[in-house]
């Protein structure tokens, strides 16, 4: 970075213009997240309009709130086994509109085949879907026309790592105004197993609507905000004739599956069943409909990136009635398809309105810019811990 280059540590602005790779300011300037008073500069949360300015170029393509990336020779997305200098990311991903994430590789492979059928995407004869990130041995990624289907693993750290790299992927591929979905499972609160929950807001175990993380020894808070209109549109697409409910509510996101979610069946439990039930009733009265372990990071990072996003999960049990998932395997399999079908319905309707159904495309073959760098990226992803 150029000597004396100043940027805002909150929004990343002040160092570069809307034009890529062009540094305009070598002196400190006032960022949109600051306002000058008589004798001091105060911090405030950016408005949606200011976030859009900070995260989009004039053509609508994704802009990063990190000027350092523009100055790098290449950017290796090592948890995805991709690189901006080794792969033609614009050719591979430039047409992406939807990024769908879920916990396991198997589930997201199944979703890839399901969405391919729903939108009429045709693969070249003799080909099949390929796991684009198979050399990472961490996440799986499948591309079906304008839809990416990616596994995010379990918990806030795993989904956070993935989001950093997928958001950077959107930037390198010059994707315009993508929409992100998390499709998953959860524990319901006062909801029967099989109920689909569309998150209105993500909160932590203390019911705070933000992600808190230490950065350079200081606690940073990122608002965990989901797109309200997208949630309403998804809710409107739930079929009334279905034999299960589709509801909206707050989602509590925890850092732990056992004690953090008030379970009585972990290796440690230092509270009573009555205390657990009182806590569950308390969060239920606060509007929490379900509990899982990814939505807080997902909502906070997508909002910080100016990306429209939604979380759709199916409840595998009612946590007011128990802690362990006891439904038969075939029942769970059917339940887990319910969020996928709702999100697929939204995607199909969107593409139909845009006249983009029945798309032909590649099966995940990799356009290589530099064979040497391509091999190095694979090796980097294989060995990095």
In 3D space, the residue among 133, 56, 121, 134 whose CA is nearest the CA of residue 89 turns out to be: 133
State the pLDDT at residue 105. 95
How many angstroms separate the CA atoms of 361 and 46, rounded? 39
* Residues paired with residue 223 on neighbouring β-strands, in sequence order: 210
In the chain, domain spans: 1-57, 72-383
How many angstroms separate the CA atoms of 37 and 235, rounded? 44
Residues marked as binding for phosphate?
138, 182-185
How many angstroms separate the CA atoms of 247 and 132, rounded? 34
Q: Strand, helix or coil at 118?
A: helix
DSSP H helices in the chain:
48-55, 89-93, 105-119, 156-172, 228-236, 273-285, 295-304, 329-353, 371-383
CA dihedral sign of residues 99, 101, 105, 110: negative
Instruction: Give the pTM.
Output: 0.84
Residues marked as binding?
138, 182-185, 261, 263
Question: What are the angstrom distances between the C-alpha of 110 and each of 140, 268, 356, 373?
Answer: 12, 35, 22, 31
State the pLDDT at residue 342. 97
CB 322 within 8 A of CB 280: no
* Residues paired with residue 249 on neighbouring β-strands, in sequence order: 199
> 120: phi > 0 → left, psi -120 to 50 → alpha, else beta; which?
left
How many angstroms separate the CA atoms of 197 and 208, rounded? 19
How many angstroms separate the CA atoms of 27 and 384, rounded? 37
Domain 72-383 has CATH 3.30.43.10: no
Residues marked as binding for substrate?
261, 263
Tens-digit pLDDT profile for residues 3-13: 444 555 555 55
Name the more confident of 254 and 367: 254
Question: Is pLDDT above 50 for 301?
Answer: yes
Q: Strand, helix or coil at 27?
A: coil
CB 334 within 8 A of CB 327: no
Tens-digit pLDDT profile for residues 221-275: 999 999 999 999 999 999 887 789 999 999 999 999 999 999 999 999 999 999 9
Tens-digit pLDDT profile for residues 15-33: 444 344 333 333 333 454 5
Question: Is pLDDT above 80 for 365?
Answer: no
DSSP string over 46-93: PPHHHHHHHHB-TTSBB--S-TTGGG-S--EETTTTEETTTB-HHHHH
Tens-digit pLDDT profile for residues 84-143: 999 999 999 999 999 999 999 999 999 999 999 999 998 888 888 999 999 999 999 999
- Residue 162 contacts by C-beta under 8 Å, 6 or more apart in sequence? 79, 80, 101, 139, 150, 152, 153
State the pLDDT at residue 30. 40
Tens-digit pLDDT profile for residues 29-69: 345 454 444 444 445 678 888 998 999 999 999 999 999 99
- Mean pLDDT (the chain) is 87
How many angstroms separate the CA atoms of 199 and 312, rounded? 6
């Amino acid at each position: 970075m150029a000597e004396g280059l100043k940027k805002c540590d909150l929004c990343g602005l002040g160092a570069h213009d809307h034009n890529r790779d062009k540094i305009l300011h070598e002196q400190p300037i006032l960022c949109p997240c600051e306002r000058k008073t008589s004798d001091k500069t105060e911090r405030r949360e950016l408005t949606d309009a200011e976030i859009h300015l900070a995260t989009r170029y004039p053509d609508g393509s994704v802009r990063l709130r990190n000027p350092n990336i523009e100055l790098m020779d290449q950017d290796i997305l090592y948890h995805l086994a991709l690189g901006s200098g080794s792969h033609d990311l614009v050719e591979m991903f430039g047409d992406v509109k939807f990024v769908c994430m879920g916990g396991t590789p198997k589930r997201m492979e199944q979703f890839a085949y399901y969405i391919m059928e729903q939108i009429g995407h045709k693969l070249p004869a003799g080909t099949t879907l390929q796991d684009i990130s198979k050399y990472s041995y961490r996440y799986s990624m499948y591309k079906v026309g304008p839809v990416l289907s990616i596994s995010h693993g379990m918990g806030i750290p795993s989904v956070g790592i993935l989001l950093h790299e997928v958001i950077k992927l959107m930037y390198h591929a010059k994707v315009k105004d993508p929409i992100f979905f998390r499709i998953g499972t959860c524990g319901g609160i006062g909801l029967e197993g099989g109920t689909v929950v569309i998150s209105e807001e993500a909160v932590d175990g203390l019911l705070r609507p933000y992600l808190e993380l230490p950065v350079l020894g200081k606690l940073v808070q990122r608002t965990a905000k989901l797109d309200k209109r997208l949630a309403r549109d998804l809710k409107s697409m739930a079929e009334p004739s279905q034999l299960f409910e589709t509801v909206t509510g707050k989602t509590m996101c925890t850092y732990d599956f056992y004690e953090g979610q008030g379970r009585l069946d972990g290796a440690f439990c230092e509270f009573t069943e009555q205390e657990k039930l009182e806590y569950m009733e308390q969060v239920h009265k606060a509007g929490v409909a379900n509990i899982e372990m990814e939505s807080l990071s997902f909502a906070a990072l997508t909002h910080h990136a100016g990306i429209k996003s939604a979380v759709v999960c199916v409840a595998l049990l009612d946590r007011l009635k128990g802690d362990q998932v006891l439904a038969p395997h075939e029942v769970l399999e059917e339940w887990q398809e319910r969020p996928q079908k709702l999100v697929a319905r939204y995607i199909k309707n969107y593409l139909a309105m845009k006249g983009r159904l029945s798309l032909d495309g590649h099966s995940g073959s990799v356009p290589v810019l530099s064979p040497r760098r391509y091999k190095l990226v694979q090796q980097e992803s294989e060995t990095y811990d």
